[in-house]
Amino acid sequence: MQDTSPNPFPADLYGGRLTIDTDAIAANWSSLKSKLTGGAECAATIKANAYGTGQTETALRLHQEGCRTFFVAVPTEAVSLRQTLPNATIYALDGLFPGTADLLIQHNIRPVLGSLEELKEWAATCTAAGRSFDAAVHVDTGIHRLGLSGEEFLSALADPSLMGAFQPNLLMSHLACGSTPDHPMNRTQLQTFKTLTDPFKGISRSLANSAGVLLGEDYHFDLVRPGISLFGGRAFDHGENPMRPVAKVEVRIMIVRNVPAGDTIGYSAAETAKRPLRNAVVAAGYADGLLRRAGSSDDRPGGFAMIGDHKVPILGRISMDMITLDVTDIPEHLVKRGAFVEMLGPNVAAADLAAYAETIDYEYLTSLGRRFERVYGPLA
């Protein structure tokens, strides 16, 4: 599926271009699906505007590829997705906000119930309607965010005042340390989840996020719900990333200038030129999701961009709308006013850039492109 999303201005007016390859997203989903055994379903987690790639475009392409179950975070995302995919199964991970049960039912949204209060409210709605409406129940196995405690979970599922009105269609939990495959907590959570849910084997179960898919069959159960891997990010903190990149950020060069040795660059005079430099200033910054923490100083290197096959370091602070790059050693014909520089993409992995910014690729992907021209197609 290659199609250009509407942009309100002509391309030449944008400081940068964000290209998103939904075919690559679909290929990543199919790759993860191929790892499943025993009939497990591969869903897709597309919260936060599909990790910055566009919820509508991504959902449609994944549905075309064969995905039928989708997870988002908040009810607004779920209702919007329902307008795009009238027949898909849609879960809202953030659960049941007070007083919203009727609206979710109206749009056929399944909340992931993560507390006794939520479960009781949903059961009361089912009782009033005289029928059980689909929803998941989330049990906490050690991450201590959302989810019923083990004791609450077992008590609730044995309570006829709740279960007489409502029968969950999915039991789920979430891994705390999946990105570190050798972490002992993974096996601990797996065993806890099995112990708590084995008595209810007639109900589908889900534990695996992207990392859980790659951890192996023990973690797959009936349904997996990958997120970051669909969008080319790293599921594991270390090792090769088997996923295809799906996004590319290119930004325009505004000016090329010379900086004498000993002069400083950018805000707070953070970086001092150690030799005569030629700098290119590009039209993007932290307001576009290119995080300030990836800037450089005299005390630490910063991230980098690519011009053709040439790696160009970031120099000095990243500001709201501008980044300065060291192009001293780059052929002059490649560094011209108006030319594009790759800030993220096939040659600048989000995970690598995130390491300079002391964060994770999730933050980069979900923050990108507020002011960029947005294009859907291959990352050519």
> d(Cα 349, Cα 264) in Å, to the nearest integer?
28
Active site residues: 47, 267
C-alpha distances (whole Å) from 15 to each of 204, 209, 372 are 47, 35, 6
Q: How far is CA 258 from the centre of its chain?
A: 39
> d(Cα 5, Cα 31) in Å, to the nearest integer?
26
Q: Are strands 89-92 and 69-72 parallel, antiparallel or unpaired?
A: parallel
Amino acid residing at 167:
Q
Q: What is the 3-state secondary structure (H, E, C) of 282-318?
A: ECCCHHHCCCHHHCCCCCCCCCEEEECCEEEEECCCC
Give the closest residue to 314 by CA, choosing from 339, 292, 337: 292
Residue 171 CB neighbours (<10 A): 23
